[in-house]
Every structure is written in C-alpha cells, then in structure tokens.
Amino acid sequence: MQKRPVALITGANGEIGRSLIEALHRDGRYRIVTLDLSPLPEKWRPLCFETYAGNILDRYLLDQLAAHHEIEAVFHLAALLSTRGERDPELAHQINVEGTLHLLRMAQSLTLRLDRPVKFIFPSSIAAYGIPTLAQKKEFGRIREDQGLEPITMYGVNKLYAEHLGRYFMRHYRMLSANSEKSVRLDFRSVRFPGLISAETVPSGGTSDYGPEMLHAAAQNKPYACFVAPEAQIPFMAMPDAIKALMGLLDAPREKLTLPAYNVGAFSLTAAEFVTRVKKAFPNAQITFAIDQARARIVDSWPADVDDSAARRDWKWSADYGIDRAFDEYLVPAIRARYRD
Ligand code: SER
C-alpha cells in the first residue's frame, strides 16, 4: 500500500490550526505534520503523524522537515496578527514575510524533488485592504479583490506582499534560468479571511478580536469594554466556514483558479449589532465601549464587507453559516457548553 502523502501545517497551535488538524484528520487523505513555536497540546497530538516545536525562521529545521517528509501540501498559517504586528513591526515583517519566503522556498524545492506541484495554501486577510476614509468604505460596500489595496498595518502590508510572493513563485520563479518554461513550480492558493470567530478559542493579537472577545466574556459573566465604535463594521466568519474555505481551496481544480487570492464572505455586522447578538444569548452581558483610537482606525480601514463572487464562480465557495446560523447553531451553544464545566 502506498504511504499517504504529508500535509504540513505551520502555526498549527493557533485558532485556525487546531480546527484544521481536526478537519484534515477526519478527511484522512494526509498524514499531518505540524510546526509551531509552542508544543502542540496533548489533545491534538494523536491526530498528527509528527509534531515539531520550532521557528519558521529556522531554515535548518525547515530543511530537516523537507528531508524527512514528502510534503505535498503546505498550510502556512503561522503569522503575527495585526495588533501584535503594530507593537513590533519588524518582528511582524520577519515572521510574516521572511518566514513565508522560507516556506515557499521549501515548497518549491519539494516540488522539484517530487516533480509535481506542491500545494501551498495561504490564509490572507481583509487586512490586505486599506480604505482611506469612511466615506470611501461606504462607497465600496462589498469590496472586490482588486480594490482598496492600501493596507495601513504592517500585517496587512505583509499579507498583500505574501500573496504577490506566492503568485511569483507559482508563475515566474527564476524565470531567467535555462529551461524556465519547462520547470515545475509550486501551486499557490490563498483566501482573504474576514475576522474569524471560534467557539473553542479566544484570539490573541488581532484587531477583529473585539467580536469574539465580547462573546467569550459574556459567556463567562465577565464585563467587556469594546475598543471600536458601535458603528464600526467589518465582515466576520465562523471557524467551521474558514476550515471549509481552506479545504475547498485545497480541492479546487487548478485550471479553474483565476486569482491568486480570493475573498470569502459569510456575514457582516457592526459592533453594536454584535452586542445585540451577544445580549440576545446572554442577557446579563455587561458590554461597554472604550474606544482605542488606533485600533479603531485599523478596523475603519478594513472593508465593511467582501464580494466573494469570484470564489463562488471558480471553486463553488459558499458559507454554511450566515449570521443567524453562526450565532444560534454554532457560536452560542458551543461557547455556552465550553464555559459550563
Ligand atoms: N483577524 C486578523 C486580525 O485582526 C485579521 O486577519 O489581525
């Protein structure tokens, strides 16, 4: 029997990573190898073939990984998010750009060794957008992939650049070398995620965190001060849909893909509407507003919603969790159960 191929997940111990491990394990196609700065907790280890604790900037470690495993798919999730990145922009650049470059280089050398394109799945973000004024944000409404691309955070700049880097590796890497036309290159695929909300974990270091934070605080009967204005609006997505998007992208036939990075949408709401949803489920929730001007400005620069018609057309993307289902069938019951014990 042939050995199952390996999928590598970087940042495996993060919010998306943990859910993705479970989904890939259920799917059964791959043996899962993980890499994260912190060791993977006991609960997820049995689902993996091998787990590594280490830094994506450690090229020796990446070489070792590539030498030991025939990696056919890379989910490169490791990143420093937008708030954390503004506190240390150079570190964000190192991790988000140099780290991604190292992973792309590794995937390309595996591509040559295996003589078929390694799939490189990359979560980009609504942070890749940057809209100068609220008037323009209103005008854009549901933004298209090619609009409003002047990100104001280091994280956003890094994500947008990493999308370009991925496109470059896929189409043009070492274009001047002999036989460049014939050389096999990696297969880069990316989605721009909205703010993600998981029932299992509370995010850290992001700027869309006010949504999940107020929800998790309410379930624990803790007061919460929201750092953006009530009218601040961005798109959000429930974690199961984020995983669905990554798996959908993995399975999409290459010839159908027309963009290096796709919008994926689910629902969009203001912070005030978020509070209303939370209070409907947890009537005693104590939520106030204490605006942090800098973080609020970041959220204001992100689109109010995304146009995901390209993903719908090219790889049949559609979210399972609209706003009602996300809150009523996933978030509220799961978060309630989580804090009940
Ligand atoms: N959720 C991320 C952040 O807030 C955006 O990708 O940084």
Query: What are 263-285's pLDDT values in tens digits?
Result: 999 999 999 999 999 999 999 99
**Ligand 1 pocket, mutate which of 15, 81, 213, 299 (most atoms under 8 A from CB):** 81
Please choose, from the candidates 261, 233, 245, the residue with its C-alpha nearest in 3D space to the C-alpha of residue 149. 261
Query: What are 55-67's pLDDT values in tens digits?
Result: 999 999 999 999 9
Query: What are 72-101's pLDDT values in tens digits?
Result: 999 999 999 999 999 999 999 999 999 999
pLDDT at 177 over 80: yes
- 217's CB contacts (< 8 A; 6+ apart) are 223, 224, 285, 287
pLDDT at 340: 86
Query: What are 191-200's pLDDT values in tens digits?
Result: 999 999 999 9
Just list the catalytic residues: 155
Q: CA separation (Å) from 11 to 81, 111, 180, 203? A: 12, 22, 32, 13
**Yes or no: is domain 79-338 CATH 3.40.50.720?**
yes
Q: How far apart are CA 92 and CA 317, in angstroms?
A: 30
Q: How far apart are CA 172 and CA 107, in angstroms?
A: 15
Nearest atom (ligand 1) to Cα of 84: 7
What does the pLDDT average to over 123-134? Answer: 98
Q: Is the CB of 301 under 6 A from ligand 1?
A: no
Please answer whether residues 51 and 12 qualify as being in contact, where contact means their C-beta atoms are separated by less than 8 angstroms.
yes
Judged by DSSP in three states, 289 sits in strand
Looking at ligand 1, which residue's alpha carbon is closest to its atom 6?
125
> For the purposes of burial, counting CB atoms within 10 Å of the CB of 50, is it exposed (0-12), middle (13-18) or buried (19 or more)?
middle
Query: What are 283-325's pLDDT values in tens digits?
Result: 999 999 999 999 999 999 999 999 999 999 999 999 999 999 9
pLDDT at 222: 98
> For the purposes of burial, counting CB atoms within 10 Å of the CB of 236, is it exposed (0-12), middle (13-18) or buried (19 or more)?
buried
pLDDT at 25 over 90: yes
Nearest atom (ligand 1) to Cα of 125: 6
- Interior CA angle at 89 toward 194 and 237, to 5°? 10
pLDDT at 1: 53
Kindly give the distance from the C-alpha atom of residue 85 to the centroid of ligand 1, in angstroms, as a whole number.
10
pTM of model > 0.95? yes
Q: Is the CB of 82 under 6 A from ligand 1?
A: yes
Share of residues in the chain with pLDDT > 90 (%): 96
Please answer whether residues 314 and 257 qualify as being in contact, where contact means their C-beta atoms are separated by less than 8 angstroms.
yes
pLDDT at 71: 98
Please choose, from the candidates 75, 82, 67, the residue with its C-alpha nearest in 3D space to the C-alpha of residue 34. 75
